[in-house]
Structure 1
């Protein structure tokens, strides 16, 4: 049995010329061939950078596509996140696991240690890709998956980026998996959100959206306080059997009391009502708002509480700490890393108290 401090070591072997070409253009989308060794197993892969602003950072994040064999524990691709701006390295995993606790669809993640050509790259978070395999692993019906890639994915007719009318109802979305006709269904959802009367909305919205799952996601984003998550950092899955859209969280490192740059984000920064047009319309329906409050009160008792989250936080902290000491990008951050579990738990306490103070006023 492995000790709790053990995490897998991923050895990436890349031809020096190819590695140099990749590093010479951080914005390239072209992958390079490489070999991934994990223990005694060997995989031929395509290897590339991932992310947007994270490409400028010293510690890069990566995408891996499997060539031979074509799947890795059922996955065709995985993402390796550097979590460079998060001094705890824990926030993304804590968030995604927390969403699962609430009953929302959420990617599976695990910590790994990366080397490239025998040189230590440090602790990474391996993220499951949200694609066909994501659905198959959960025995979910086939369906389209749309990534919300920027602030236009705000469920509004107005852009969150330039505050102008959008050129398209699908602005802000990229189809990862597309079933015939589902792009039109997403357009229809956004059109209905923005044009139905209050009476029509309350009776019609459940035809297009799994409202209960959306409320689980909303509670998760309010608790973890991901300010950006209301208008991107999510994916939409359209269940082909129910015809309803479900929402899936993605990239939640700017949470648990820190922003995207790792700076302190006060516990009262994000309001309990949340943001975006869809959330506002849902919480304007009395029965839905009542259900939201009831769900939230249960979560505050059974999930978002320091006594529940403390052992989870410290389990992950203790698991990766020996490897953090070998992470070349954490050399000068170990002291702060050691302080982060308590920082996170203090945030949970303050955030929970803030939510309790305001949640009853929504009824």
Structure 2
């Protein structure tokens, strides 16, 4: 197939023994010195495997830190996601672009073709890191950033298996600290100790509630099962003094789970779940706000009409390179079916949520 909108190529060079070491010792977190060459520049980098279950796959995902120069396109770190379990290779990007379209901060992403020591490893998704430079590139106020690093990040005092957490902030890692920030602790205390009347009154002084509800719509529409208690970051905006939320790792979406298996369109309820969401939707004014936001999205961005040209554009940009991907070259037929699979999911999911909307608003 003729190349259309040529995909950028990344060439990484490192000692072969170091490459074998990080690929064979998958649970090590050591970084290896390497070189990265793109169409625009050459850089010295540090590279390591990234992800949890991702490390077990043949096609690895990588975390890159730029050394010399310190930045590439305004970024100090990037992630190269293998998208191993996603037969479309597009769900992550489709999700992040969807979040952006409904007013939620999300990482920029672009597909690239990765070569390591002159061997093609296939199509990867380059993801922007959510850090202080992410904020700076968007001219956003500085602020502390927390990562939800495991499923204990459920906004509760208890783990998902109902055990009391050892500390209030279990499940979170502070990625970037701005002025000894303790906003996360304040949020968790409010969620778990404030009585209903005080919570309904005070939460808007801690959390950017409209942006959280829009994020919730993004998770519910794309149906990311882990998205409610994992796969997100929190940003404490130093100007508004409110916490905002952003998505992360959305390959298990749009009708498939994180293993790439089909997921029924009605698997996630319209209200989603987690302790913070439950407390917000228990408040009439926030539930009404959520319903109004959701109704608009179901009529605009989360429709076949809106998403079809975006899906087709992504498909057409990736398709010429499928034969170069060792993980995908024998699965081209499945890849070719994925645009219609995703569109059928959107239609079914949209109809399901429309059918539940009145019950949510009038609860």
TM-score range for the pair, normalised by the shorter chain length: over 0.9
- Alignment match of 2:196 (pick from 192, 195, 198): 198
Q: Deviations over 1:184-219 (max 9, x none)?
A: 321121011011111111110001100010011000
Which 5+ residue runs of structure 1 have no aligned equivalent? none
1:276-331 deviations in Å (ceiling 9; x for gaps): 00000101111111111111111111100001100000100000101112111112
Gaps of 5+ in 2: none
Q: Which of residues 250, 275, 284 in structure 2 aligns to 1:277?
A: 275
> Where does residue 315 of structure 2 map in the other structure?
317
Q: Number of residues paired by the alignment?
A: 360
3-state DSSP of counterpart to 1:43: strand
Partner of 1:176: 175
- Root-mean-square deviation over aligned CA pairs: 1.1
SS at match of 2:335: helix
Distance 2:191 2:203 in 1: 8
**Any idea what SS the aligned residue of 1:100 has?**
helix
Residue 189 of structure 1 is matched in structure 2 by 187
The answer to whether the 8 Å contact 2:10/2:115 transfers is yes
CA contact under 8 A between 1:48 and 1:62: conserved in structure 2?
Answer: yes
Do structure 1's residue 96 and structure 2's residue 96 form an aligned pair?
Answer: yes
Q: Which of 298, 304, 307 is the aligned partner of 1:306? A: 304
CA contact (8 A) 2:183 2:243 kept: no
Residues 146-201 of structure 1: per-residue CA shift (max 9 Å, x gap): 000111100011111x321111111000011012332x321121011011111111
CA distance in 2, matches of 1:67, 1:167: 37
Corresponding residue for 1:123?
123
Residue in structure 1 matched with residue 139 of structure 2 by the alignment? 139
Return the alpha-carbon distance in structure 1 between the equivalents of residues 201 and 40 of structure 2: 56
> Mean alpha-carbon deviation: is it higher for 193-202 or for 15-24?
15-24
Query: Once superposed, which parts of structure 1, at least 4 consecutive aligned residues long, lie more than 3 Å away?
Result: none
1:223 aligns with 2:221: yes
Q: Within 5 Å, give how 1:22-37 maps onto structure 2.
A: 22-37=22-37
How far apart are 1:220 and its partner, in Å? Answer: 0.4
**Cα-to-partner distance string for 1:8-27 (whole Å, 9 max, x where unaligned):** 00011111122122223111
CA deviations on 1:80-110 (whole Å, 9 max, x unpaired) are: 0000000000100000000000000100000
Aligned counterpart, 2:235: 237
Aligned partners of 1:113, 1:361: CA distance in 2, in Å? Answer: 47
Counterparts of 1:71-110 in structure 2 under 5 Å? Answer: 71-110=71-110
